[in-house]
Structure 1
Amino acid sequence: MKAETWTIVGVGIFFGLVSPIYWLLTNDWTGTTALVMTFLLCALLGFYLGVVANQIPGRPEDRSDGEIADGAGELGFFPPYSWWPLFTAAALAVVVLGVVFGWWLFIIGSGILGVMVVGWVFEYYRGIHAH
């Protein structure tokens, strides 16, 4: 993750240098705030990637003598298709529309959203994809 860390840190340095220059040239609060927030986001992500890179010893991607075959093997669990994200998004849309049209719709949507989130979280404990 060292390459990822330095990429994000480099982008953060760019935004950190551009932010005051942009402010001096335009006196625009909105753009300057966006640039500063982007710099802070890059700093946070770069810090996180740096900490995680120190916790993972010897990734083949980080070694100069690393081979493609060194990274072979099981990489993790990748879920198959799932309908739960679609229904969760639809329930969230009902919740947001409930804020606009009435609290009764918000309450109904919140109940449906709760069921959808629980279904999505526990999807791999039941049924065809259980393990």
Structure 2
Amino acid sequence: MKSETWIFGGCFVFFVLVTPAYALITDASDHGMDWTGTSALFMTALLTGMIGLYLGFHAKRMDPRPEDRKDGEIADGAGELGFFSPYSWWPLWCGATLAIIVFGAAMAAYWLMIIGGVLGAVALAGLVFEYYRGDHAH
């Protein structure tokens, strides 16, 4: 976790330095300061700082991982890493129904949004309950 903390800490410092520079550069133009870009860079700095602090606090509380130790070997990280889902078609259907809902909202076709919502509920239920039936049931 220490390496990730340093990465996000470096990103935080970068964005803290870039944000006022960007504000000054855009303020020198004829159109005035770009508030959208400046606030986006400021929020990005806050986000990277928040993640860096979170990872830093957890790095102090947990046992060091093999990559955090100076005497760590590659073999120390061997073993089961966790459960990873096999391929699934449900995320495709969830994304397709979201596309239908967004398309319906863009075209003000509320009937299409309702159809997308119903199909989306079915797709979301399929995604959530995928491991309760079928080939991958537990």
TM-score in same-fold range (> 0.5): yes
Q: Residues of 2 paired with 1:48 and 1:61: CA distance?
A: 19
Give the TM-score of the pair, scaled to structure 2: 0.87
Between the two proteins, the alignment pairs up a number of residues equal to 131
Is structure 2 residue 70 aligned with structure 1 residue 64?
A: yes
User: Residue 22 of structure 2 corresponds to which residue in structure 1?
Assistant: 22
- Structure 1 Cα separation of the partners of residues 111 and 53 of structure 2: 44
Q: Separation in 2 of the partners of 1:110 and 1:73?
A: 42
2:121 is aligned with 1:114: yes
Residue of structure 1 equivalent to 2:101:
95
The one of 52, 56, 60 aligned to 1:50: 56
* AA matched with 1:69: A
User: Is 1:32 the equivalent of 2:41?
Assistant: no
Larger fraction in helix: 1
For 1:111 and 1:55, the matched residues in 2 are separated by 45
Secondary structure class of the residue paired with 1:130: coil
Q: Which runs of 5+ in 1 are unaligned?
A: none
State the match for 1:83 in structure 2: 89
Shift in CA distance, 48/25, structure 1 to aligned 2, threshold 3 Å: same
Report sequence identity in percent. Answer: 60
2:8 paired residue number: 8
Q: Aligned-residue CA RMSD in angstroms?
A: 1.4
- TM-score (norm. length: structure 1): 0.91
Unaligned runs of 5+ in 2: 28-33
Does 79-88 or 100-109 show the bigger shift? 100-109
